[in-house]
Structure 1
Amino acid sequence: MAKRFTQRTVNWLELEKRVPPEQKTNFYVFKGKSDVYLQRVLANPAEMPKINWDTYRKLIPDKKIVDNLKSDLEKYKVPYPEDTLTSKIEEQWKALQPEIEKFCAEQDKEIEKATKELNIIKALPKFEDMTMEMYYDLYPDEALDPVNRPTFWPHNPEEQLGYQTPEQKAMKKGGGH
């Protein structure tokens, strides 16, 4: 006999968190249909009602008909498909577990790295309070250094002495034509 579900097996709250906002209405419609179906199932008894064969024997003159009907009904079994996929799904899940754990470990490292960077940024003084000297102390490679690395305004690579376009660099490396 098929297993009867008497309670919800879906964690609707957890599932709702994962539904995109534009799909919420479809989700609620689906959840409503599922709830109605569960209520309909629970409204019926778990077992088929027992047939009182003695009552039928009293009402029907030919007792053979009742006996034949009873034996036929007892022989009849509703075919229910056998579950062959659950074991395959569990095997696939077990095979995926190491990959999932590896991915989670990598993401934890990325989260830790990003958290460190965020803490560094939070520790910086406000933009309004920072001076050029403070910026130079914090980021010596990026700050303007007029003594050691003088540049011309607007201080971008294209405006500096000795700048070569990518085409010029390619010509120089390739030997030119």
Structure 2
Amino acid sequence: MAKRFTKSAINWVEFEKQVPPEQKTKFLAFKAKADMYLRRVQANPPEPPKINWEEYQKTVPVKGLVDKFKTAYSAFQVPYPTDTLSETVDEQWKSLEPEIKEFCAERQKDIELAQKELNRIKALPKFEDMTMETFYDVYPDQALDPVKRPTFWPHTPEEQLGYITPEQKAMKKGSH
């Protein structure tokens, strides 16, 4: 006989921690269905009901019919699938673990770079407190420099002398 489930094998608390907030409703619906299924399974008795074959022997007039049903009933086995895929899944998981660790290490490097950038940005003076001189000190390549790089108002690339449109650049590259 197959093993009877008495409780869920899923750690729902840990599972819920992994669910993103926008998926909570779907997760709760899934958990409700799983709990309902477990309750339906537990509502049935673990063993099939016992049949009083002697009572049927007395009431059924056809000889041998009850014996035939009795042997068929006792020989009947509910097929329970054997687990043939767990080993394959475990092997696949073991082969994927190094890739996962490598991916996590790369993402950790990205997180560290982003954290450094955030710390740098947080260290800047507030926008309201920043002057043009402070901006020039922090971003010398982006700030207006009327001495070394004079520009015309409105100080956009399109309004400057010698500006070449992207189409003109493409045409120059195509002619070479």
Task: Name the TM-score, length of structure 1 as normaliser.
Answer: 0.76
Aligned residues: 171
Residue 3 in structure 1 maps to residue 3 in structure 2 = yes
The Cα of 1:56 is off from its aligned counterpart by 5.5
Query: Partners of 1:119 and 1:42 in 2: how far apart?
Result: 56
Q: Residue 153 of structure 1 aligns with which residue?
A: 153
Instruction: Give me the whole-angstrom Cα distance separating, in 2, the residues matched to 1:32 and 1:73.
Output: 35
Bigger drift between 164-173 and 85-94 goes to 164-173
Contact kept in structure 1, 2:53 and 2:70, CA below 8 Å: no
- Which residue number corresponds to residue 93 of structure 2? 93
Q: Structure 1 pair 41/139, CA: closer, same or farther in 2 (3 Å)?
A: same
Matches within 5 A, 1:81-160: 81-160=81-160
Return 123-132 or 27-36, whichever deviates more. Answer: 27-36
- Which amino acid letter does the alignment assign opposite residue 156 of structure 1? T
Stretch moving more, 34-43 or 137-146 = 34-43
Q: How far apart, in 1, do the equivalents of 2:152 and 2:112 lie? A: 40
Q: How far is 1:45 from its partner? A: 4.3
| SS of structure 1 residue aligned to 2:89 | helix
Taking the aligned partners of 2:83 and 2:23, their CA distance within structure 1 comes to: 35
The question of whether the paired residues in 1 share the 8 Å contact of 2:2 and 2:80 is answered with yes
CA contact (8 A) 1:6 1:42 kept: yes
State the Cα distance separating 1:138 from its structure 2 match.
0.9
Amino acid at match of 2:19: R
Equivalent residue number for residue 21 of structure 1: 22
TM-score for the superposition, normalised by structure 2: 0.76
* 1:168 corresponding residue in structure 2: 168
Q: CA deviation at 1:153?
A: 0.8
Q: Deviations over 1:36-62 (max 9, x none)?
A: 22123234444456x59xx7559956x
Q: Secondary structure at the match of 2:41?
A: helix
Local SS of the residue matching 1:92: helix
The reply on whether 1:37 has 2:7 as its aligned counterpart is: no
Taking every aligned residue pair, what percent have the same amino acid on both sides?
59
The CA deviation string for residues 99-134 of structure 1, in whole angstroms up to 9 with x for no partner, is 211111111111111011011111111100011111
CA distance in 2, matches of 1:175, 1:34: 68
Cα distance in 1 for partners of 2:175, 2:57 equals 110
Deviation at 1:17, TM superposition (A): 5.1
> Cα RMSD between the aligned structures?
3.2
Q: Which runs of 5+ in 2 are unaligned?
A: 59-63
Question: 8 Å contact 1:19–1:27 — kept in the other structure?
Answer: no
Report how far residue 152 of structure 1 moved: 0.9
Contact 1:152–1:159 under 8 Å retained in 2: yes
Cα distance between partner residues in 1 of 2:161 and 2:31: 68
